[in-house]
Amino acid sequence: MLNKRIVELLVGLFMLIGIVAMFVLAFKVSGLSMYSSNGSFHVAAVFDNIGDLKVRAPVTIAGVRIGEVDSIAIDNSTFKAKVGMHIDKKQDKLPADTTAKILTAGLIGANYIELIPGYDESNLKDGALIIDTQPAIVLENLVGQLIYKLSGDKK
């Protein structure tokens, strides 16, 4: 009788550990925000074209994730996209002349923002605006330009 209870208790404990592991896995896979306003500072960048950039897209330096996109809006005066980013507080030494560009993970992967630090002595502060940006390269536009150029040569 006692052995049966111990086996049932161990099976129940094993099931509980499995359920907790599933919740942790679901949280990791879902891409929910890992950056809180306490552990990060906010910067924004203005882009001509953001392609398929999404909120919660990674922000990286040299391939290392240092933050994520937290907002995307249109600037009604310039009609450009303004992208807000949460950057890890550990990266508070980023130079003020940092450049931002939108890249694609692989050939048709998701877009993300790559920050390229500059050489300025002053640092990016909370609420700073990155002006020097490079827009996303949209694959459909490149294919369209290639087809147009190839069809123009047949006159």
* Tens digit of each residue's pLDDT (9 = 90 or more) over 102-130: 998 877 788 999 999 999 999 999 999 99
**CA pair distance 41, 120, nearest whole angstrom:** 19
My answer on whether 75 and 108 are in the same domain is: yes
Is residue 148 in some structural domain?
no
- What is the model's pLDDT at position 35? 57
* Tens digit of each residue's pLDDT (9 = 90 or more) over 3-51: 889 999 999 999 999 999 998 888 777 756 555 567 889 999 999 999 8
Is residue 104 in some structural domain?
yes
My answer on whether 125 and 97 are in the same domain is: yes
Is residue 150 in some structural domain?
no
Residue type, 12: G
Q: Provide the whole-model pTM.
A: 0.71
Residue 154 confidence (pLDDT) above 60: no
**DSSP line for 77-107:** TTTEEEEEEEEEGGGTT-BTT-EEEEEESSS
My answer on whether 1 and 46 are in the same domain is: no
Q: How many domains does the chain have?
A: 2
Please name which of 44, 42, 41 lies closest in space to residue 129, comparing C-alpha atoms. 44
- Asked if 130 and 100 touch (Cβ cutoff 8 Å), the reply is yes
| Residue 35, helix vs strand vs coil | coil
Is residue 94 in some structural domain?
yes
My answer on whether 17 and 93 are in the same domain is: no
**CA pair distance 151, 155, nearest whole angstrom:** 8
My answer on whether 58 and 85 are in the same domain is: yes
For residue 123 the two structure tokens come to: 């640092």
Domain, as residue range, for 23:
1-30
